[in-house]
Amino acid sequence: MLKTITLPSGEQVPTLGQGTWMMAARGKRESDIKALRLGIDLGMTLIDTAEMYGEGKVETLVGEAIADIRDEIFLISKVYPYNASRRGIIQACERSLKRLGTDRLDLYLLHWRGNVPLEETILGFEALRAAGKIRHWGVSNFDTDDMQELTGLAHGNACATNQILYNLSRRGCEFELAPWLRDHKIPLMAYSPVEQGRLLVKGALAEVARDHGVTPYQAAIAWLLQKPNVIVIPKSGSDAHVRDNRAAADIVLAPDDLAKLDAAFPPPAKRKPLESL
């Protein structure tokens, strides 16, 4: 059974979910849906998508994949910053709900910070929550100063997560942002945990993986899952990779493993701006 993490509301969700970026490509729709369903069967019931992904095509695919099991899913989508005005976010959410074939989102995120004042976006989120269209809201790609500003606003402390780029090669958040989120009991949701397949898999990572009889990417996901206050959302379009992702949750890296990875992928020694893809 997958480990869970507690949201600020007290609700528990799996620490390992499924991302959907770059799904719904031509000729891969059937295999993408099959992979999502397998992941759900294996306990990865947290599914993340966005209106940006394929300009709605991925939401439609996810909706098809979960149509008969919607109540088993913790469903996340994200809104474009330019749609995040008080009125615009209501309309964007309705469009996402229609594509997903559902009457509510479990979590709705501001995809990144734009020009709309945060106060206005929060009002939109809270109106959606009051109407039962969303159950929780949060943000994505917010750095520490953004989070401090957000949580200082009216209703800002209702933020349920901050979804950011975080993996072995992108550890800048560990210096300031990750500790801040942990102190404020706001889960960090890590996207692109294997750097979209570009993570360096030679050297220490390969050695650690070999010692555990797993792939380097599994070891990289296991490394993230051992971090406190972190949810990981790898994307996979094949059954084999889905099974690999799930198996990564059962890997326990020893202190020596972690030391090797720290030497190869050093943690930050000073504050760095948050990275994104």
What are residue 1's DSSP bridge partners? none
Phi–psi pair at 101, nearest 5 degrees: 65, 40
Residues 6+ apart with CB under 8 A from 135: 104, 105, 106, 107, 129
Active site residues: 53
| Confidence at residue 84, expressed as pLDDT on a 0 to 100 scale | 98
pLDDT at 202 over 90: no
Residue 242 and residue 42 in contact, taking contact as beta carbons nearer than 8 Å = yes
pLDDT at 111 over 90: yes
Give the residue among 202, 233, 198 at the shortest CA–CA distance from 216: 202
Residue 47 three-state SS: strand
- The arithmetic mean of pLDDT across residues 230-258, rounded, is 97
| Confidence at residue 198, expressed as pLDDT on a 0 to 100 scale | 85
Per-residue pLDDT tens over the stretch 39-94: 999 999 999 999 999 999 999 999 999 999 999 999 999 999 999 999 999 999 99
Per-residue pLDDT tens over the stretch 22-44: 998 878 999 999 999 999 999 99
Neighbour count for residue 88 (Cβ, 10 Å): 18
Q: pTM to 2 decimals?
A: 0.97
Give the residue among 253, 251, 246 at the shortest CA–CA distance from 14: 246
| Confidence at residue 200, expressed as pLDDT on a 0 to 100 scale | 82
Looking at domain 12-190, what is its CATH homologous superfamily?
A: NADP-dependent oxidoreductase domain (3.20.20.100)
Residues 6+ apart with CB under 8 A from 245: 16, 18, 39, 44, 218, 221, 234, 236
| Confidence at residue 232, expressed as pLDDT on a 0 to 100 scale | 98
